[in-house]
């Protein structure tokens, strides 16, 4: 019992750390430079632009509620509890950090690179410790059940790309959308590296008339 309790405390401590990384990456690199990171966070940015009085973190929580309800029977309760905790803590940290300090804009490419690494690290740690910030990661986890051959990072990148394209269409800012795509690509790669480590499956197609001999050699 004591060992199990220590494991739970350690898990939630790492989830809290990953939430802090996510919040810092978003508030420092993405939000001041108007870079959409896709997912519900990107949708929340759009809503916040039209309704500045609505905090981004609060919007994220509200948007996630229907997805949590839909996911209740699809994933384990412990995993869902951890994700709910991560969503609330990361959203709260985003609002708290925004309230105590205002980050200045930086060069967009630097924002995309540094933000991608920090947020990717945060999201990857969450997944390693059985949690997500909800939104894209939760949707990707559900899609992973139907498409086990695709990595979490690839699924997240696909979903986020749709949001970024929508963001560009709404704000008519293709340049910022391109920077955001760079950030999303980095996030997906860092996330996969943290979750899967250096392991990865490779596939090669060999075209030869001696295919039987080649196949027998493996």
- Output the pLDDT for position 211: 46
Distances (CA, A) of 5 to 1, 2, 11, 32, 100: 6, 5, 10, 40, 34
pLDDT, tens only, 30-76: 989 888 777 887 888 788 888 888 888 888 888 888 778 777 777 67
**Ramachandran bin of 135, using left for φ above 0, alpha for ψ from -120 to 50, beta for the remaining angles:** left
Higher pLDDT, 91 or 208: 91
Structure token digits, residue 173: 């800012």
The backbone torsions φ and ψ at residue 173, rounded to the nearest 5 degrees and listed phi first, read -130, 85
- Of 100, 109, 94, 122, nearest to 31 by C-alpha is 94
Asked if 119 and 187 count as a contact pair (C-beta separation under 8 A), the reply is yes
Tell which wins on pLDDT, 75 or 120.
Answer: 120
In this structure, are residues 124 and 195 in contact, taking their beta carbons and an 8 Å threshold? yes
pLDDT band for 5, please (50, 70, 90 cuts).
confident
- Contact (Cβ atoms closer than 8 angstroms) between residue 88 and residue 61: yes
- Of 10-14, 24-28, 70-74, 127-131, give the lowest mean pLDDT range: 70-74
Domain boundaries, the chain: 2-216
Higher-confidence residue of 122 and 149: namely 122
Question: How confident is the model over 150-162, as a mean pLDDT?
Answer: 78
Instruction: Give the model's confidence band at 205: pLDDT under 50 very low, under 70 low, under 90 confident, else very high.
Output: very low
Mean of all residue pLDDT scores within the chain: 82
Two tokens at 186?
Answer: 């980095």
Sign of CA dihedral 139, 142, 146, 150: positive
């Amino acid at each position: 019992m004591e060992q199990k309790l220590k494991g739970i405390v350690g898990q939630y401590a790492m989830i809290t750390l990953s939430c802090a990384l996510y919040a810092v990456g978003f508030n420092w690199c993405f939000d001041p430079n108007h870079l959409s990171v896709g997912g519900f966070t990107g949708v929340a940015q759009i809503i916040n632009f039209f309704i500045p009085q609505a905090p981004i973190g609060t919007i994220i929580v509200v948007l996630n509620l229907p997805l949590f309800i839909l996911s209740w029977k699809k994933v384990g309760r412990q995993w869902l509890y951890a994700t709910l905790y991560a969503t609330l803590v990361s959203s709260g940290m985003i609002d708290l950090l925004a309230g105590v300090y205002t980050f200045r804009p930086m060069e967009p490419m630097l924002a995309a690179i540094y933000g991608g690494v920090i947020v990717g690290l945060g999201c990857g740690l969450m997944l390693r410790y059985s949690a997500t910030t909800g939104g894209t990661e939760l949707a990707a986890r559900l899609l992973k059940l139907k498409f086990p051959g695709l990595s979490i990072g690839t699924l997240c990148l696909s979903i986020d790309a749709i949001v970024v394209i929508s963001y560009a269409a709404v704000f008519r800012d293709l340049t910022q959308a391109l920077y955001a795509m760079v950030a999303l690509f980095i996030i997906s790669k860092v996330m996969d590296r943290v979750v899967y480590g250096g392991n990865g499956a490779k596939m090669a197609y060999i075209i030869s008339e001696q295919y039987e001999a080649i196949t027998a050699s493996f």
